[in-house]
A and B are shown apart, each in its own frame.
Chain A
Amino acid sequence: MSMNDIIYVYIAYTIIFLGIAAYIFYLHTKQTKLTQDVELLEELVKSHGKRKRKPKK
């Protein structure tokens, strides 16, 4: 019985650390995507600004 107890401890701590790792992975993935979106939008804003400055024919 006492050897089986330790399995519960391993399961509980594994769940804790897997849960935390999964959340950190989610944050990192989302940050990468959002940073790419920001860069893309900043490029669009720059090109939008350049188009506005072009003289009309």
Chain B
Amino acid sequence: MLKITATTRIGIMVLSIILIFFALYMAFIYAPSVDDVGWSAPKAQRIFYFHVASAWVSYLAFGVVFVASILYLKTNTRKWDMVALSSAEIGVLFCTLAIVTGPIWAKAEWGDYWRWEDVKLFMTLVLWLIFLAYLALRSGTADSEQAGRLAAVFGILGFFCVPLSFAANRIWAQFHPTVVASDQGSIQPMMTHALIVAVIAFSVFYVYLLIMRFELEQLNHKIEDLKESVGGDEYE
């Protein structure tokens, strides 16, 4: 099983805290404001940095679920199932943050929280629901090995919504804007720097959360093994 030393864990935690504060500085101070011309709510644009970073990390987390699920089905090694479950939970967290902060910005800028006809918004919601169902599946099934295998298939299939969610606004330009360079005009370089820092900060933080959550799964499995040693009915 994976063993991360306390020093490494604390180091990653401290690094992620520093990077998040740096990302806040970049988002609020370093990055320039958008022009008042062409923006209804120019100040609200600063939601963009952590909103996009949340979405990217959710894609990363679901990507890890995809890879870990394949490895679990291939090797039948419990470790990969634990990684997949841990990553799915964190992915749902960051996807939730993206889905909540996006409409807040949308309301400020365009007057609408949500537009169902926008493919990107719809696919991101579907992605979120799929992985919520993944977590529900894991918590509902008594047989952990059966749950792991079913969830692995679910995680692999569910991941295919990630590229659809990512690319939807590039294929069907609708409500949701395109982030990086497009025909509609690219973002300023300093804004790109701030965005990159936010993405890196949240990615490092994701690694920290994954370690923490994985260690919880290790404890869960230790409890299962100990219960078998004692005899389940003696422990209530």
Contacts and interface: CB of A to CB of B under 8 A. Distances in A.
A10 B160 CA distance: 33
A16 B213 CA distance: 19
A45 to B, nearest CB: 5
Contacts of B215: 31
Overall SS of chain B's interface? helix
A41 B40 CA distance: 60
B226 A45 contact: yes
Interface residues of B, number: 38
Interface in B182-222: 205, 209, 212-213, 215-216, 219-220, 222
- The residue among A1, A8, A34 with the most chain B CB atoms within 10 A of its own CB is A8
B226 A38 contact: yes
Interface residues of A, number: 28
A42 B229 CA distance: 10
Contacts of B90: 23
Do most interface residues of chain A lie in helix, strand or loop, or is the interface mixed?
helix
Given A8-B104, A15-B100, A23-B209, A31 B223 contact: no
A13 B51 CA distance: 9
Contacts of A41: 223, 226-227, 229-230, 235
Given A2-B36, A19-B93, A34-B216, 11 more contacts: A5-B44, A6-B44, A13-B47, A16-B50, A19-B100, A24-B212, A27-B209, A27-B213, A37-B223, A48-B230, A48-B231
10 contacts: A2-B42, A2-B43, A4-B41, A4-B108, A5-B43, A8-B43, A12-B105, A16-B101, A27-B216, A31-B216
